[in-house]
Structure 1
């Protein structure tokens, strides 16, 4: 963010002892005392090294050995007390009491510590600046619950946690002080972790935790084994076989869950003959039983299609394609702007078979056609579209999910020997109307999705019906500069006037949410942010037409909605892309399925009742290889929008992206322009 942001950030209250905070760490630590966590949870907090420096950060850089201020903080946290004696410090740090006293005296002389004589002990010590202790990163593990709590995590720590843990909740005040993150390691997190071997996963786990936890590591290894206990393979005579690692697993798990609708007959104590039409059901049933199935079948390659790429894949895109060819099924899960469509086209060329591309809308179908023509040597008559507007079946056919799922269009699947099915925006797969397309289990299957999350918690179906995730490490792409990590700020805004606030207070239900979303102060805030970043290409997202028109009028820019004629919409996007237009206000039609040029600045004025996926998609409009990427999410303070904003940004936070929060309430009571009121 710019330097002006700091004017509205309240400095930490350095006089407040850390135990007075309301972070997740403090609450769960109290819970741990009542539930009695095992010995592995009693770990001394640690400071994770800053990845941009060669050594861990320290508040006492001059101390080469002995008791530094940093080590004193560690001793305080390990003791769980606000003050300690020299004897306690010595015990915690493994030094003699005389050495501890000498070093603590030096820190006290330098003003870094305070000491006081008390009756029960000659001297006790405590920090001069409590705020430094309260703002340090602290990592605490609760192995039995498989939960990790981090107060004030560094970006480095959050990026690593995103590789094997699920972000459950965050707490803290609006300026981000005392920020606590609660992570949980679930079965599916281990099953889908982007590692080739369990040792790599354990190494990542150990790099974050303060010390080894045999209890947790044993559970992780067990879950990893579970993900490799069943597999499907093609028998030499051409039929599909389900194989288990042991006779017990086949008899006590598979045969207890599956019936004659799924399998024909046993072949051996560890193998059974599977009905081809029931492969998807078998994988889903065993997944629900806690055993993901490895799919090693010989998948169809379809009729040969000679395709050459006209673009060179980036290293990570080529890695995605290589991993897909090895697995023959999977979902590319990369951040917006990382080039998943180009990687999908690379997979199409590598498979070399006739391909069916499934998309959620006609507009995406047209975009896929344009991308194929621009980046391959396919001719126009080799690419067909199949949806309500046109029905062409060609060597590469692009169809909508809805059309493909209808019984009367079943010939779409049966008329060609598809070698590859590409599911764009793969999070649509679990919806009932889209299930039909998942029956194509005999094909190479590639899903594309930046946000494979669903509010109905059915994202597991994406990975069982299509394939395991590929390319989930967003942090590596950010670090390598392939995709610009956005700076995200939730701005809690007050009411512009008493009339608007009173109208909201006297309403309820849907109207109450709408009034909070359309808080007139957001119009002023949009003008202020636009004035702060005058040279940035800006997209302003709204969910309500009236609000969109108000903001567009205030900024004197176009508003694009579902009511905008298609040719006008395309003209605005083209002008925005070419640089002739620097700001667009856009409704939720811009969330997905539209070839909207990437922006440098995104302002989310409303839409906070939407999904986590919507929040990520809107933020994703700023992600690209170079330049700044700023996202401001406006939420009316004291309303349900606060919770909605945090929920929408949770997916980004889980990927290691820092989400900060600020509060603003300085709105004029007249129509003073934003340029006169800029911060």
Structure 2
């Protein structure tokens, strides 16, 4: 085909399609791109592209954008990184991105989808702009243009407007010691703050653009304005409390050092990184830099004990300097580890309010938006650091985390996989048939929770787990269950201990210690092992039930196999022909979006039984 409109035939040869890709320097094209290069009408280009569909060219509907076309064998069309900007949708698709490009994009865009090593799709949201680590708008726009190699008018207009919104309100400490809210203009104070906030939040106006804030309502003020589209900068002068000399005896990895430097400069943030990336070590590095009394909040007593052990093992802190405060022990010390629930209770709260903390660490911070836990967000500290591998919540309240604590800090999971710091897991979904027709009929006649439980506890999964343990006989393995009866049955059938919330605390600790010390290679665990508890060197995770759980739960269980060395595997068992199939695919899509390889696989037990029947 030539570029003469009169010479445009009914079809396009595949080689000519590649020529179009080269001309526009994009891995995917729309019909309008093709029409422009070939100087024909868009309708003629669409007809020609339709004729190529399935013949080495694929089509894809991209949200509200026009249909895009790309070669079936995409990887052969170029050897270098290419970027496609969908300006109206504020989306950026990058084919074969370098680690540098992914790192830059993670600063101002959200990774929404990936095909593994090939195409990565990012979307720029308002919160991405609000939390971008740049001091000036021009620096952010420069970073954007360096990635896209062009000026995207709609995206840049959106970025500029959201940047302005993020710099309208600031909390400061008045010279007389109380807290005030300052606005960028009288109009913003009058039309936004004083309209959205009432007398319980703002005690009185001081000037047209300054209001006196009720100290007890600071967290609520920040949340309300955030929800109105105006994140608040918190620049109050808070009491740092007594100094504390903390020395870390571990060397931080380069990315951990970057996390700590970023946090210390901004004094608040949410450290987001995969399990095994060393968030706890980075937090101890932050403690060393801050040098102040520290409160560490955790969701469970087990995690509190683990934090204490880590602090005593890797810092110069004396046991008398580290206390725990929860249902089993109540000691306030210069470094105190408390559970969210206990610290949020009225009868204990004054103990934490009365002490001036230099640093508050919120571990497993996705618990914070829960009603009892969020009360700890009002605790005052100069530095506020949150940790989480997966700050997502099924109630869509994860934005509360950034409102109450600070902006995200961290690196895309796949960048850490590529750098070799964390082993990328392979996740395989196994579709398990029913053991017999009686169980299938029972499931078909049930509904609601009973129906879900019958699919989750399909007895055929016992044999499936047995076969996986045989196939990986030398692997340190965790088998996850959501139902106590299923856990106990697996324990009896496989002669493996089952650890749940009903397991007495001393026995639970003993079994976990044996697993850590390589004295046991397999445990069956309930949700108690989903988060926080450090069970290093886990090589295999088998999810026997729990597919109706959250995206976060799926990531946490996959995270059990994420370590710096060794092969990482996770098998998810879904009962064939039930809602578990859909749950497995939807929940694990969150992992795929982080660069984790997720694939479908056969049911080992089914194959085993078929061989036996022969």
TM-score (norm 2): 0.82
Q: What is the CA deviation profile of residues 518-576 of structure 1, one whole-angstrom value per residue up to 9, with x for unaligned ones? A: 22333333233333333322211111233334444554433322343433333332332
1:305 to 244, 262, 269: 244
Whole-angstrom distance in 2 between the partners of 1:207 and 1:661: 38
1:484 to 415, 418, 423: 423
Q: Summarize the alignment of residues 510-521 of structure 1 with structure 2, pairs less than 5 Å apart.
A: 510-521=449-460
> Which 5+ residue runs of structure 2 have no aligned equivalent?
1-13, 41-46, 59-69, 76-81
1:322 to 261, 264, 273: 261
* Contact 2:432/2:606, CA 8 A, preserved across alignment: no
Provide the residue aligned with 1:608 in structure 2: 547
Identify the range of structure 1 (161-170 vs 224-233) with the bigger mean alpha-carbon deviation: 161-170
Provide the residue aligned with 1:225 in structure 2: 164
Whole-angstrom distance in 2 between the partners of 1:229 and 1:422: 28
> Which 5+ residue runs of structure 1 have no aligned equivalent?
1-59, 82-87, 97-119, 171-175
How many residues end up aligned between the 2 structures?
A: 574
2:569 to 630, 645, 663: 630
Q: Does 1:661 align with 2:600?
A: yes
* Contact 2:427/2:597, CA 8 A, preserved across alignment: yes
SS at match of 1:287: helix
Inter-CA distance 153–492: structure 2 relative to 1 (3 Å threshold): farther
Identify the range of structure 1 (227-236 vs 445-454) with the bigger mean alpha-carbon deviation: 227-236
Whole-angstrom distance in 1 between the partners of 2:301 and 2:540: 28
* Contact 1:301/1:351, CA 8 A, preserved across alignment: no
Offset, 1:315: 2.0
Offset, 1:283: 1.0
Q: Does 1:133 align with 2:71?
A: yes
2:323 to 349, 360, 384: 384
RMSD of Structure 2 on Structure 1 (CA): 3.9
* Contact 2:169/2:231, CA 8 A, preserved across alignment: yes
SS at match of 2:71: helix
Offset, 1:70: 6.6
Provide the residue aligned with 1:284 in structure 2: 223
Provide the residue aligned with 1:650 in structure 2: 589
Offset, 1:219: 0.8
Provide the residue aligned with 1:571 in structure 2: 510
Inter-CA distance 479–130: structure 2 relative to 1 (3 Å threshold): closer
* Contact 1:279/1:441, CA 8 A, preserved across alignment: no
Provide the residue aligned with 1:92 in structure 2: 37
* Contact 2:468/2:604, CA 8 A, preserved across alignment: no
Q: Does 1:522 align with 2:464?
A: no
Whole-angstrom distance in 2 between the partners of 1:230 and 1:603: 48
Offset, 1:672: 7.0
SS at match of 1:419: strand
Q: Summarize the alignment of residues 6-17 of structure 1 with structure 2, pairs less than 5 Å apart.
A: none
Whole-angstrom distance in 2 between the partners of 1:656 and 1:204: 23
Q: What is the CA deviation profile of residues 49-95 of structure 1, one whole-angstrom value per residue up to 9, with x for unaligned ones? A: xxxxxxxxxxx9xx9x99669759999974659xxxxxx9796369x
* Contact 2:463/2:605, CA 8 A, preserved across alignment: no
SS at match of 2:237: coil
Provide the residue aligned with 1:412 in structure 2: 351
Q: Summarize the alignment of residues 230-309 of structure 1 with structure 2, pairs less than 5 Å apart.
A: 230-309=169-248
SS at match of 1:667: helix
TM-score (norm 1): 0.74
Provide the residue aligned with 1:356 in structure 2: 295
Q: What is the CA deviation profile of residues 248-267 of structure 1, one whole-angstrom value per residue up to 9, with x for unaligned ones? A: 22222122222332224444
Inter-CA distance 225–653: structure 2 relative to 1 (3 Å threshold): farther
Q: Does 1:454 align with 2:397?
A: no
Whole-angstrom distance in 1 between the partners of 2:168 and 2:27: 46
Offset, 1:621: 0.6
Whole-angstrom distance in 2 between the partners of 1:161 and 1:604: 33
2:498 to 529, 539, 559: 559
Offset, 1:618: 0.6
Offset, 1:584: 2.0
Inter-CA distance 160–638: structure 2 relative to 1 (3 Å threshold): farther
Inter-CA distance 72–320: structure 2 relative to 1 (3 Å threshold): closer
Inter-CA distance 129–422: structure 2 relative to 1 (3 Å threshold): closer
* Contact 1:331/1:470, CA 8 A, preserved across alignment: yes
Inter-CA distance 240–72: structure 2 relative to 1 (3 Å threshold): closer
Q: Does 1:587 align with 2:550?
A: no
Identify the range of structure 1 (452-461 vs 249-258) with the bigger mean alpha-carbon deviation: 249-258
Whole-angstrom distance in 2 between the partners of 1:656 and 1:540: 23
Provide the residue aligned with 2:44 in structure 1: none
Whole-angstrom distance in 2 between the partners of 1:638 and 1:600: 29
Offset, 1:650: 3.4
Whole-angstrom distance in 2 between the partners of 1:505 and 1:168: 36
Provide the residue aligned with 1:617 in structure 2: 556
Inter-CA distance 505–139: structure 2 relative to 1 (3 Å threshold): farther
Whole-angstrom distance in 2 between the partners of 1:658 and 1:198: 36
Offset, 1:166: 5.0
* Contact 1:155/1:656, CA 8 A, preserved across alignment: no
Q: Summarize the alignment of residues 94-173 of structure 1 with structure 2, pairs less than 5 Å apart.
A: 129=56, 133-134=71-72, 136=74, 143-146=87-90, 164-165=108-109
SS at match of 1:453: coil
* Contact 2:467/2:604, CA 8 A, preserved across alignment: no
